[in-house]
Amino acid sequence: MWYNICVKRGDMMSDLAGKGCEILVPFDERKLLEEIEKSITHEYRKSLWSKFTKAIKDYKLVEDGDKIAVAISGGKDSLVMAKLFQELKKHRQVNFELEFIAMDPGYHENIRALMEDNCKYLNIPVKVFNSQIFEIADHRAQDYPCYLCARMRRGALYSKAQEYGCNKLALGHHFNDVIETTLLNVLYSGNFKTMLPKLKSTNFKNMELIRPLYYIEEQHIQHFTQTSGIWPLNCACMVAAKKIGNKRYEIKDLIKNMKQNFNDVEKSIFKAAQNVNMDSILGWNKDGEQHSYLDFYDHTQE
């Protein structure tokens, strides 16, 4: 079944897919589930498992008594995140519960079938709920619906997580998402703002968003998926696929080019958000209030 779904998906996407929508083809047939799960703490112990647990410990992302809604989009990142959480649950180092939730924002029926088939094979007990977010976002923001769509999708996931009694929502943003977001803000928005490993929701009481893949590089997620024989969803949004250009893909190319001349440039971008020197910046925003270094200039000495 899974192969037929993927072939149909390839045919369907051929006329729509833009830059960055290349299908992630596995290296071989799907491995047995037991092999896939074992590889997480063996072959991929250093690149996936250790970085996953390190982020959880460093930022206290999972604590005793948590009930975590793991958001499944069907893409490589969320599928890997789900398996990592299941592995963490097996180790029983922390007492917590999991709910795996997936929103269908208007997928083509073959896309949804592929997502459900992957979850079934990987033993991820996902609960799928429907929405019409793709249609709404495309109607209300025709030129660039992605921002509105992302906000609506997150709100829907928060709401469903609360419905299941969860206090945390886990999203599959990884290391590369973090550095790309940082550069996007610098180059296109004129501010220095990064993607945080966790933050409290301002609209949903007692809810927190966590990003446990914070230290994991995309290339390792991709390799794990391909060696496991999994066909994840990629560019499943029919709206975005029709649009021309995407700044995030431009940033990916920019970083790729910079790597040729700057060693560990990705790590430097990441660390920049950890090493902000408040004595050497022109201004900053704190709790909605703008500050200037001149406000404190007379009280400082060179």
Q: pLDDT by residue (tens digit) across 18-37?
A: 344 556 788 889 999 999 99
pLDDT at residue 3, rounded to an integer: 44
Q: What percent of the chain has pLDDT over 70?
A: 81
For 180-209, what is the mean pLDDT? 94
Are 218 and 20 contacting, i.e. CB atoms less than 8 angstroms apart? no
For 41-69, what is the mean pLDDT? 97
Q: Give domain limits for the chain.
A: 30-275
Long-range residue pairs from 198-201, CB within 8 A, at least 24 positions apart, any chain: 198/59, 198/60, 198/61, 201/158, 201/169
CATH class of segment(s) 30-275: alpha beta
pTM: 0.86
Strand partners, 199: 209
Buried b or exposed e, range 160-194, using 16+ CB within 10 angstroms: bbbeeebbbbbbbbbbbbbbbbbbbebeeeeeeeb
pLDDT at 128 exceeding the cut of 50 = yes
pLDDT at 59 exceeding the cut of 50 = yes
pLDDT at residue 135, rounded to an integer: 63
Least confident of 175-189, 202-216, 222-236: 222-236
Of 14-28, 49-63, 120-134, the range with the highest mean pLDDT is 49-63
Structure tokens at 103: 């929103």
For 82-105, what is the mean pLDDT? 93
Burial class (CB in 10 A: 0-12, 13-18, 19+), 68: buried
Residues 262-282 have pLDDT tens digits of 999 999 999 999 999 988 999
pLDDT at 15 exceeding the cut of 50 = no
Higher pLDDT, 298 or 85: 85
pLDDT at 52 exceeding the cut of 80 = yes
Query: How would residue 163 be classed by pLDDT, with cut points 50, 70 and 90?
Result: very high
For β-strands 198-200 and 208-210, DSSP reports them as antiparallel
pLDDT at residue 154, rounded to an integer: 81
Least confident of 76-80, 84-88, 127-131: 127-131
CA distance 177 to 263: 19
Cα–Cα nearest to 125, from 137, 116, 135: 116
Strand partners, 198: 210
pLDDT at 124 exceeding the cut of 90 = yes
pLDDT at 88 exceeding the cut of 60 = yes
Structure tokens at 173: 């943003």
